[in-house]
Amino acid sequence: MTTVHESCAMFAHTPAPPYYAVIFTSTLSGKDVEGYAEAAERMVELAQAQPGFLGIESVRGADGLGLTVSYWASEEAIKLWRDNAEHAAARAKGRSDWYAAMVTRVARVERAYGFGAP
């Protein structure tokens, strides 16, 4: 099984734009750290199995700020993922227990460029 750490310590391999990005910024409450880590790993597994999932990039810094960007083929794919029952339950737990603060932004990627990414 791929762990969250392994699956996230890499660049997402996205197709040519347009596609969608869900930018998730968070700080943790410090409650139920193990439960959070298990759920985070499970959510990556589940997302990867969703139709229209393109990739994910995720980092949490030493100062506690977390940035996770997941990439999706369409708004429809994002809605299907939002409506996944296990994902909805995890989001509820995130609001009640795991996160001190979080912001989700849904954005349409218009262009992309770079070098060296595998």
- Of 38-46, 51-59, 85-93: span binding its own copies (CB under 8 A): 51-59
**3-state class (DSSP) for residue 97:** helix
Interaction of residue 34 with its own copies, rule CB under 8 A: no
Give me the DSSP letters along 1-25. ---HHHHHSS-----SSPEEEEEEE
Q: Are 2 and 94 a contacting pair, CB within 8 Å?
A: no
CB closer to its own copies, 34 vs 110: 110
Q: Side chain identity at 118, as an amino acid letter?
A: P
Which of 9, 33, 89, 92 forms a contact with its own copies (CB under 8 A)? 9
Interaction of residue 69 with its own copies, rule CB under 8 A: yes
Interaction of residue 25 with its own copies, rule CB under 8 A: yes
